[in-house]
Amino acid sequence: MKKYIFLAATYLVSSMSGALIYRLFDEPREVVIREDSSARYAATLGEDPLDEVRPRTFLSASPTEFTGAAGAATPAVVNIRTMQKGRNFHFWGEGVNTATGSGVILSADGLIVTNNHVIEGADRIEITLNDKREFEAEVIGVDPSTDLALLRIKAANLPFMPFGNSDSLRVGEWVLAVGNPFNLESTVTAGIVSAKGRSIDILEGQDRIESFIQTDAAVNPGNSGGALVNSNGELIGINTAIITRSGRYEGYSFAVPANLVRKVIRDLRDYGTVQRGLLGVFIENLNSRQAEALGLESVEGVLITRVSPGGAAEEAGMRKGDVIIRINNVKTRTLSEMQEQVGRFRPGNVLSVEYIREGKANQAKVILKNKTNDTALVTARDESMLRDLGFELRSLTREERRRLGVNGLKVISVYRDTKIEKTNMEPGFVITRVNGKSLSALEELTAAISGATGKILLEGIYENYSETYYYSFIME
């Protein structure tokens, strides 16, 4: 035992002596450990692209920070509760059907945007702010073509959300969805922009515009009408739809782009209806077979299949078979992208349209028209007045004016059980005068009738009949 203790002590003394001698005679050294911040590559790139291995850095970007954007957005997002009279079969009597959604405050004096489907058919609309205050809302205007609606509440100094530029969004960019799903208070979810210019065929009507921003941010029932927000806390879309088999979130949500929302809401505020500028064309997406037949280098663009007589495109020299590739220098790769671009402008606005014809690039200046085939802006009151009177009108085309030798408005349809039907007026009648005054545009007719009382006399002609016809009705 003493032998082993002696050996251990001898080993310990020898080790300590060696270390002491090394420290006395060796120069001191500074050891610095540095972390290389340059990219680490998993492999170099090979000559065959199929063997290519992308560089991997394992160094993340700066921590993603959403608290500022969420804090700015949530006070401006409201809960919307609608009530509609109906049958409540549980109680076997009259009842009230209720539904909920979300909305976004756009101005300090109470303008709120939401989806049309959120408030459609409602008899009463209640708004609950983020601070729990409650208001009853009035409908300023709706646009089923984009599924948007504008509401107003009587309030002041409200927090509101500024518009961002949805055109600047890039696929892969972080976004927030802010809404009130499942009757919860304001809820924030995060995701990325998955795609732009998506059409999912959910809206109805010839004028529908589907050019959605697709995201993977969780959007659930009740989020409809809520805000899609960028990392700066700006509104870049109105959450509108999800694709789901379960009825709940499955990873696909869609928002109306803010640049389109801004135009629609401004029109609803100023006119009560959307001033939609029309190119006057029937269009479809280009496919590879058509692109090859037309001698195009890529399958990008919108093919014109028909041009409306006297429409904006025809008057600008465009025709069937042309392929629209840019509007105001913005690429229009698909039908939905083109519809979104045109949908931002009003009748009378001039667009620069670039198109391909027989393999050659051309450019046209197109003056947009409205549904009545002129450039006038029509208010909701004017539209309602004409509908109540009982007819649908449009301006004469250039060819019709030349052929008939007159200016005027053409009657497209006559509605049943109306003042106009009782006059025995037929579709195709061309109104040239109202109460003895000549007409050339729709606003001249609405101005003459609006606020008038007593007898209104409409004078005009039918094509292929030489005589003049007169129709009268009483305004009360």
Q: How far is CA 256 from CA 48, 203, 206, 277, 300, in A?
A: 42, 12, 18, 18, 23
Report the C-alpha gap between 324 and 463 in whole angstroms. 35
The H or E element that residue 228 is part of is: strand 227-229
Q: What is the gyration radius of the CA atoms in the chain, in angstroms? A: 33
Report the C-alpha gap between 244 and 148 in whole angstroms. 21
Q: Are 77 and 227 in contact (CB under 8 A)?
A: yes
Half-sphere exposure (Cβ direction) of 60: Cα atoms closer than 13 Å:
3
Q: Are 356 and 336 in contact (CB under 8 A)?
A: no
Which of 213, 223, 216, 210 shows the shortest CA–CA distance to 183? 223
Which of 64, 44, 62 shows the shortest CA–CA distance to 53? 44
Q: Are 340 and 260 in contact (CB under 8 A)?
A: yes
The H or E element that residue 114 is part of is: strand 111-115
Which residues, 6+ apart, have CB-to-CB distance to 178 below 8 Å? 70, 73, 74, 77, 102, 186, 187, 188, 226, 227, 229
Which of 190, 193, 194, 210 shows the shortest CA–CA distance to 202? 210
Query: What does the DSSP assignment read for 265-314?
Result: HHHHHHHSS----B--EEEEE--HHHHHHTT-SSS-SEEEEEE-TTSHHH
Residue ranges with strand state E in 116-186: 124-128, 134-136, 138-143, 148-152, 174-179
Active site residues: 117, 147, 224
Pairing of strands 212-215, 227-229: unpaired
